[in-house]
Amino acid sequence: SQRLFGKAWREEWVVLYEDSTLAWFKEKGRLEPEGSLVVKEAPEMMAVSQWTLRIPGRPDLPSGCHVVQLMAFGTKRRDKVHWLLAQSEEEVNNKHSFAMRPPESVITLRYAVNLSK
């Protein structure tokens, strides 16, 4: 897959399902996700833009990318933070409220997913 965002990031398709499951896939339309989490299990552990600066272990951003493009999703079950990087600040501004949207919306977007463990 393409590495437009450098070695530590991979571009993936991110899908938000009606039950608030956020899953990411190597290719659009693929059935098996690379990973997933349930946003509504820990909505307070979601951070966007400048709020991600408070989270320890924040990954280095690729050249040309800015903190305003960054989203972080924590999980209660594992001590793990999933980092997503939007293509632009506008995309984050338009979409970061998706966790609070009504259940009829399903969103598919292209994001970069951080590969560091």
**pLDDT tens digits, one per residue of 43-99:** 888 888 999 999 888 888 888 888 998 889 988 777 788 888 887 777 776 655 554
First to last CA, the chain: 19
Does 54 fall in a domain?
yes
pLDDT value at position 20?
A: 86
Question: What are the Cα distances from residue 6, in Å, to 10, 55, 76, 85?
Answer: 8, 21, 29, 12
Boundaries of domain holding 60 = 9-114
CA distance readout (Å), 18 to 81, 96, 108: 22, 15, 12
Number of domains in the chain: 1
Residue 1 lies in a domain: no
Whole-number pLDDT of residue 101: 45
Q: Among residues of the chain, what percentage have pLDDT more than 90?
A: 6
23: in domain? yes
What does the pLDDT read at residue 62? 84
Distance from C-alpha of 90 to C-alpha of 7, rounded to nearest angstrom: 24
Mean pLDDT of the chain: 77
What is the structure's pLDDT at 51?
Answer: 92
